[in-house]
């Protein structure tokens, strides 16, 4: 509903350069990883109305980011040909950067919004988030980081009013 409300008020245009935003989100993820704890995991959501203009740079950025505590969700909006976006998804084999280096793990989920035009909002959410749990588990397993002990629940206490 928010998308439909906002769309008439904005103008989408290209080029669609995705590598700079991936690299920007990768910076804090890199700092998080360098702590050896990596308790924070980043998820980047990219909404795009066209194919990626900087495909080689985007592939390289994804391959670098595949070693970090982060996932990338790309939602294609509109009727563009998103064939190249499926390449980034890594579902048909490991994504490789232009030099041939493979991604350490699949961190990208691509979803064409038009496939959910008449579906319940929960169907879109389910598809968009479908791979994130596995991606999180794979990252922490690759780093040898086990889940910590559950934190004890504490109830917020409100002081009793004075009589």
Structure confidence by residue, pLDDT tens digits, 86-108: 888 877 788 999 999 999 999 99
Q: Is 50 in contact with 84 (CB distance < 8 Å)?
A: no
Contact 128, 111 (CB under 8 A): yes
pLDDT bucket at 149, cuts 50 / 70 / 90: low
Question: pLDDT of 46-64, one tens digit each?
Answer: 988 877 889 999 999 999 9
Question: Residue 48 has which token pair?
Answer: 């795009």
pTM (2 d.p.): 0.82
Per-residue pLDDT at 161 exceeds 60:
no
Say whether pLDDT at 159 is over 60.
no
Q: Which pLDDT value is given to residue 57? A: 96
Residue 157 pLDDT exceeds 70: no
Residue 10 has a pLDDT of 78
Give dist(CA 160, CA 163) in Å, integer: 9
What confidence score (pLDDT) does residue 18 get?
A: 93
pLDDT at 22 over 80: yes
Would you place residue 156 in the very low, low, confident or very high pLDDT band (cuts 50, 70, 90)? Answer: low
Element (H, E) at 55: helix 55-65
Question: Does position 66 have pLDDT exceeding 60, yes or no?
Answer: yes
- CA pair distance 3, 21, nearest whole angstrom: 21
Peptide bond into 15 cis (omega under 30): yes
Starting at the earlier edge strand, list the strands of the sheet with 42-48.
42-48, 70-76, 108-112
Higher model confidence: residue 44 or residue 88?
44
């Amino acid at each position: 509903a928010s998308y439909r409300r906002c769309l008439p008020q904005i103008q989408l245009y290209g080029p669609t350069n995705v590598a700079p935003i991936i690299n920007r989100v990768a910076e804090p993820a890199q700092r998080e990883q360098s702590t050896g704890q990596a308790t924070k995991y980043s998820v980047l959501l990219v909404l795009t109305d066209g194919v990626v203009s900087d495909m080689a740079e985007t592939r390289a950025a994804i391959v670098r980011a595949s070693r970090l505590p982060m996932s990338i969700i790309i939602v294609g909006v509109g009727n563009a040909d998103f064939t190249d976006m499926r390449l980034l998804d890594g579902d048909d084999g490991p994504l490789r950067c232009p030099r041939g280096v493979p991604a350490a793990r699949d961190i990208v989920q691509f979803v064409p919004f038009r496939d959910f035009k008449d579906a319940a909002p929960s169907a879109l959410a389910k598809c968009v988030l479908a791979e994130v749990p596995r991606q999180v588990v794979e990252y922490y397993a690759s780093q040898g980081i086990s889940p910590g002990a559950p934190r004890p629940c504490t109830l917020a206490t409100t002081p009793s009013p004075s009589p």
